[in-house]
Amino acid sequence: MIAVYDIGTTVLKGALMTEAGEFREFASRNLSMMASSPINHYEADPDEWKRAFREITLELLGKTAAGSRESAGSQETAGSRGTIRAAIISGNGPTLVPISETGEFLKPVMSWMDRRGTEESARIQAVQNQYIDPTFYLPKALWIAHNMPAVYEKTRYFLSCPESMVYWLTGSALTILPGDHFEQYFWNPELIAKLKLDADKFPEFVKPGTIAGRAGRLGAAASGLPENLPIIAAGPDFIVSLLGAGAVCPGRACDRAGTSEGINLCTKEQVTDPRLMWYGHVVRPWYNISGIISTSGRALDWIKEVACGEDQDYQDFFSRFTPAAPGSDRLLFLPYLTGERAPIWDPAARGAFIGLGLNHGKAELVNAVLESVGFAMRDVIEVMAENGGEITELRITGGPSKSRLWNQIKADITGKPILVPESSESVLLGNLLLALSALGDTENLAETTDSIVRIGEEFIPRQEYRGMYDEMFALYRESYRGLKEVFSRLAGMKDQGEL
């Protein structure tokens, strides 16, 4: 069996899985996001990651203490739930974690939603002549260097979320490069030198599914994992989910639904449109083109809390929610609550209801938010199509994929059939597949993926709503264009405390 872990924005999940893709044990713990008072500041608590990781590990292994029985001279370790060959970890990103020489996780841990490094991203763009979003890793490291020099000097390594946990377990510092050509979104030696940063703070790049080392004595004691267990670095969750959804051949796309949304399409050719991200696919020789939507599930959480006064998971909410009619009685919502990435790349963009009237109630407000994610997806999909990236299969994974209502809305708006795999845990499945490759159990990752990932349900676009949604999508795009300057001027206003 393989122990698989994924550190999400709001949930840390773990499972024991067989090599055939069966879940033997599953556990999860909720995580919190610390939003500080300045706008665009969103921080994570790594102590919470460690605490949740240990609790999950002990639950998975059926242990009440950290001890385990190690098979001497073997790579396999026996626990009360069976033989565990390795552990693999993926996580959210781009979240930046400063690590000290002694292994201390320093603060701030700037989450993937953090956009405080707008000035730094502009400087990097001027040097590199390419758009670099403030949420990316390098603007955050540069912000720390400029604004928290003591933290910068104390930092031995800048690591991502999952790589920091790998370091915690093994003491090995590395950076997963999701695919060929992805350096343009990370860093390179020339760029680091031009920015006057210390190159040795940025670990070497390795590919997804790299065996980073073995759980050391301290890492094992802190985590509950057996000492000497091989630890595999999977990398960012959006890459791993491609495997777990089966998007491993040209034309297949994965909608990774969760706190944010990621549309990833496997293609034969690279695409250089700056509105999209592109890089080599995990399965060669293909490419991946990607469009990341910043707040999708998080937008639903927001409207549930603000308009409905409810804080419950997707399944409970949807079981009680009575939706408005398609179109939400001519109400639009822009889901840019923390700015937006693809395809507009505007950190100043903000959420907005368009057409709000006295005729609208909670049902219309919530439904408009659900539909806004479909419009945001379509915005990315149409840019992909402009570049020859036609989607033949759109597979959806993640927590929101359990909502039949939301799946149907997405199908109606995008005009694409939505295929739902039997397992919504695509990241954990993808972790397993990477682990099988790392351990030498498979030489053909695509074939193994297709043997494990199975489709459970399909949602077909309803033609009777096509004309209405075509018109509303055009208005969705026009609404952003009309408000872009307003968003920019609002972002430029001083906080009340600065007056």
Q: Is residue 32 part of a domain?
A: yes
Contacts of 87 (CB under 8 A, 6+ apart): 2, 3, 4, 5, 169, 215, 225, 229, 230, 231, 232
Mean pLDDT in order along the chain per 10 residues (499 residues): 96 97 96 72 95 98 55 44 90 96 96 93 92 94 98 98 98 95 92 96 97 98 97 94 95 92 94 93 94 93 87 79 96 96 95 98 96 98 96 93 96 97 94 98 96 96 98 98 97 70
Give the per-residue pLDDT at 317: 85
Q: DSSP state, 310?
A: -
- Longest CA–CA span in the chain (Å) reads 72
Within this chain, do residues 377 and 408 fall inside the same structural domain, yes or no?
yes
Handedness of CA 132, 135, 140, 146 (dihedral sign): positive
Q: Which of 216, 238, 260 is the last residue of a domain?
A: 238
Check residue 130 and give its pLDDT: 87
Instruction: Assess whether 183 and 285 both reside in one domain.
Output: no
What is the C-alpha R_g of the chain? Answer: 22
- Cα atoms in the 13 Å half-sphere on the side-chain side of 303: 28
pLDDT for the residue 142: 98
Query: For the chain, what is the domain count?
Result: 2
Statement to judge: residues 364 and 219 lie in one domain: no
Share of the chain above pLDDT 90, in %: 85
Domain that holds residue 260: 246-421+462-499
Q: Are residues 256 and 188 part of one domain? A: no
Asked whether residue 335 is assigned to any structural domain, the reply reads yes
| Residue pointed to by tokens 């949740």 | 52
How do beta strands 287-293 and 252-257 pair? unpaired
Q: Which amino acid does the sequence have at 19?
A: E
Domain with residue 274: its CATH number is: 3.30.420.40
Q: What angle do CA 51, 53, 59 make, to 5 degrees?
A: 105
Q: Which one of 208, 238, 268 terminates a domain?
A: 238
Q: Are residues 55 and 197 in the same domain?
A: yes
Q: Is residue 348 part of a domain?
A: yes
Q: How does pLDDT run across 31-48, given as a tens digit for each residue?
A: 987 655 577 899 999 999
The pLDDT of residue 67: 42
The tens digit of pLDDT for each residue in 376-424 reads 999 999 999 999 999 999 999 988 999 999 999 999 999 999 999 999 8
Q: Where are the strands (E) in 46-195, listed by range? A: 69-70, 77-79, 82-84, 86-91, 96-100, 155-160, 175-176
Same domain, 287 and 253: yes
Per-residue pLDDT at 370: 98
Within-domain flag for 450 = no
Residue 94, preceding peptide bond in cis (omega within 30° of 0): yes
**pTM exceeds 0.75:** yes
Regarding whether 308 and 222 lie in a shared domain, the answer is: no
Q: Does one domain contain both 269 and 156?
A: no
184, 217, 238: which is the final residue of a domain? 238
Co-location of 225 and 281 in the same domain = no
What's the Cα-to-Cα distance from 477 to each of 303, 374, 380, 471, rounded to whole Å?
Answer: 21, 12, 11, 10
Check residue 76 and give its pLDDT: 54
Same domain, 202 and 302: no
Q: Do the beta carbons of residue 215 and residue 223 sit within 8 Å? A: yes
Give the C-alpha separation, 314 to 10, whole Å.
13
Q: Are residues 120 and 255 in the same domain?
A: no
Query: Strand (E) positions, 271-357?
Result: 277-280, 287-293, 332-334, 352-354
